[in-house]
């Protein structure tokens, strides 16, 4: 099942919840955090991956404060033409979420934050490539196949695209009966997309770039444009992040209930060009209804 690893310590109780998709299984979870935000996470492998017991090239990780005021997340889509794209997706997803939680990721202009993240991503690449080299090649693979895999690993490494972010929701001011502005920061490379609903029918899309160069590589570090976007919002209703395997459902993801979402996603597996698919759906409860 989907890994929902809530770190345990003796004292005090952990302050964050952690959700992480599994590279070897298909899962769906729905979790309400402190009556403030409903989190849904869907992860399905392609039909080919399921049939051949291959790893999911998509990866998603979410860290949420128990009071629902802070969410950190990263949704990655490993590049299938690279060497083990699932490795880069998992490595970068975990690293970016941890970085977003650090104090240094919270200050500075958008340009400064993007430059800081790019520098860290280039640093992570060197360590990631060393770890990638330590992973054994398939022992049953013929010598020629092993040689090709080794060349792919050394020349291109493992690659992934991603969209990550931090949503900071100020505590509800019960006495004033208001909700303070929400801060949203999103960073992305490549074609993972996000749709942000501010209020009512007002929404806009970020990410989803067709820039084939925008990606992170364990050999070359950041390639192409690293985008960063930050804004203060008086209201926020929903944020849906999805990989390109779910593009046929992009316009309807916000309208599907849990059962419909899973059924429609499984229907996509019947299409000739089906792909791994991941959707992270964050739905905030109205500010006028603070947790009781």
Q: Mean pLDDT for the chain? A: 88
Cis before residue 12, ω within 30 degrees of 0?
yes
> Cα–Cα distances in Å, from 263 out to 15, 18, 57, 152, 266?
34, 26, 21, 37, 5
Q: Which two tokens stand for residue 181?
A: 């502005």
Q: How many Cβ atoms are within 10 Å of 211's Cβ, its own excluded?
A: 14
> Cα–Cα distances in Å, from 182 out to 32, 142, 216, 223, 234?
19, 55, 29, 31, 6
Domain boundaries, position 273: 16-284
Share of the chain above pLDDT 70, in %: 89
In a domain, 78, yes or no: yes
Spatial distance between the Cα atoms of 99 and 191, rounded to a whole number of angstroms: 21
Contact 1, 25 (CB under 8 A): yes
In a domain, 2, yes or no: no
Coil, helix or strand for 175?
coil
> Cα–Cα distances in Å, from 122 out to 116, 172, 219?
10, 39, 9
In a domain, 1, yes or no: no
Poorest-confidence range of 57-71, 148-162, 177-191?
177-191
Q: Which two tokens stand for residue 5?
A: 């690893």
In a domain, 290, yes or no: no
pLDDT digits (tens, 9 = 90+) for 27-54: 899 999 988 899 999 999 999 999 999 9
In a domain, 10, yes or no: no
In a domain, 50, yes or no: yes
User: In the predicted model, what is the mean pLDDT of residues 121-140?
Assistant: 92
User: In the predicted model, what is the mean pLDDT of residues 107-134?
Assistant: 95
Spatial distance between the Cα atoms of 265 and 262, rounded to a whole number of angstroms: 5
In a domain, 8, yes or no: no
In a domain, 47, yes or no: yes
State the CATH number of the domain containing residue 184.
3.60.40.10
Report the domain count for the chain: 1
pLDDT value of residue 146: 84
Spatial distance between the Cα atoms of 259 and 261, rounded to a whole number of angstroms: 5
Q: Read off the pLDDT band of 23 (50, 70, 90).
A: very high
pLDDT digits (tens, 9 = 90+) for 69-80: 899 999 999 999
User: Rounded to 5, what percent of the chain is helix, strand, coil?
Assistant: 30, 35, 35
pLDDT digits (tens, 9 = 90+) for 173-187: 444 344 456 889 999
Q: How many Cβ atoms are within 10 Å of 267's Cβ, its own excluded?
A: 12
Q: Is the pLDDT of residue 11 over 90?
A: no
- Relative to beta strand 182-189, strand 178-179 is unpaired
């Amino acid at each position: 099942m989907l890994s929902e690893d809530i770190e345990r310590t003796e004292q005090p109780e952990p302050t964050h919840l952690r959700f992480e998709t599994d590279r070897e299984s298909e899962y769906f979870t729905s979790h309400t955090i402190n009556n403030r935000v409903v989190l849904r996470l869907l992860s399905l492998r392609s039909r080919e991956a399921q049939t051949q017991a291959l790893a999911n090239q998509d990866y998603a990780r979410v860290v949420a404060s128990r009071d629902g005021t802070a969410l950190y997340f990263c949704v990655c889509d490993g590049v299938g033409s690279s060497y083990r794209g699932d490795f880069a997706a998992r490595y970068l997803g975990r690293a970016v979420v941890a970085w977003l939680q650090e104090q240094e990721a919270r200050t500075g202009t958008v340009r400064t934050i993007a430059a800081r993240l790019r520098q860290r991503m280039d640093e992570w690449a060197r360590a990631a490539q060393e770890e990638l080299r330590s992973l054994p090649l398939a022992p049953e693979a013929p010598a020629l196949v092993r040689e090709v895999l080794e060349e792919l690993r050394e020349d291109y490494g493992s690659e992934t695209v991603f969209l990550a972010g931090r949503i900071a929701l100020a505590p509800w001011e019960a006495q004033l009966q208001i909700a303070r502005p929400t801060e949203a920061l999103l960073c992305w490379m490549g074609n993972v997309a996000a749709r942000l609903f501010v209020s009512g029918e007002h929404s806009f899309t970020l990410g989803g770039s067709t820039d084939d160069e925008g990606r992170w590589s364990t050999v070359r570090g950041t390639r192409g444009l690293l985008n960063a976007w930050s804004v203060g919002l008086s209201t926020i209703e929903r944020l849906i992040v999805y990989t390109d395997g779910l593009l046929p459902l992009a316009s309807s993801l916000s309208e599907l209930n849990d059962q419909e979402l899973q059924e429609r996603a499984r229907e996509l597996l019947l299409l000739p060009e089906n792909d791994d698919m991941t959707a992270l759906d964050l739905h905030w409860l109205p500010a006028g209804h603070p947790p009781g």
